[in-house]
Amino acid sequence: MTHDISETRGFERVVVIDGGRIVEDGRPDVLAGTPGSRYAAMLAGEEDLRLRTWSASMWRRLRLTDGRIRA
């Protein structure tokens, strides 16, 4: 079990529960490619949040190159 939706792409099976009821059940690749899928919507929402969060100006990007930290 995980709350990191993108990690579930490597699972054999995904069960999506909403309000205590199973609303989707199947292989992640199939559910992700199904129009109107709640699983696909959750993946898209998580990716959107990740992009908006990490693109915020408050974050400083550093790289490790040849054993040295560079901005």
The residue extents of the domains of the chain are 1-52
What is the structure's pLDDT at 70? 84
What is the structure's pLDDT at 19? 96
| Strands 21-26, 14-18: pairing kind | antiparallel
pTM value surpassing 0.85 = no
Q: From CA 17, how far away is CA 3, in angstroms rounded?
A: 12
The one-letter amino acid code at 64 reads L
What is the structure's pLDDT at 2? 67
Q: From CA 33, how far away is CA 60, in angstroms rounded?
A: 35
pLDDT in tens, 30-42: 999 999 999 999 9
Residue 27 pLDDT more than 80? yes
Q: How would residue 1 be classed by pLDDT, with cut points 50, 70 and 90? A: low
